[in-house]
Amino acid sequence: MENITNLTNKDYSSYVTQAQTSNLSNQIKKSTSSDATDEEMLAACKEFEAYLVEQVYKQVQSTIKSDSDEDDNPYADYAYDLQAQQYAKLVSDQGKLGLAQQLYESMKKQNAAITPEELHEQEQVAATTQTQNA
C-alpha cells in the first residue's frame, strides 16, 4: 500500500470512496440474498445511510471552505474525513432520517416476494396437477 503522505488529498479521497463503495456493494449483495439475517440487512442499510450522509456532509463542507483553506495540509483533510465519517455514523445510528429503516423494509419485502423462477415452477406444478386430475 502506498504511503499516505505520498498521496494527494484527491487521491486519498478517491481511494477511500472506492473502498467504501466496494464494501457497501458487497454488504448489500450479501444482505439481499435469501440467507441474510435481519441484523445483516439492517446493518447494511445503516451503513448505506451513513455513507450517503457522509457524502452530503463532505459536499457541504467543501462549499464553505474559504480561499485561504487551499493550502491545507493532508492531515487536516484526513481529520475532516474522519469527522465526516463519525458524524454520518452518529446520524445513522440515531435513526432520525429513517432512510435505513425504509431501505430495510423494502429489502425485506423484496426477499419475501416470490421470484419469477419460483412462480414459473408453481405454475408448472399446478398445470401438471390439473392435467393429472382431468
117-35-91 Cα angle (round to 5): 115
Dump pLDDT digits (tens) for 27-53.
665 555 556 788 888 888 999 999 999
Looking at the chain, the whole-number percentage of residues with pLDDT higher than 90 is 10
What is the predicted pLDDT for the residue at 63? 81
Integer Cα distance of 57 and 44 in angstroms? 20
CA dihedral (25, 31, 32, 35) in degrees, to 10, reads 140
pLDDT score, position 51: 92
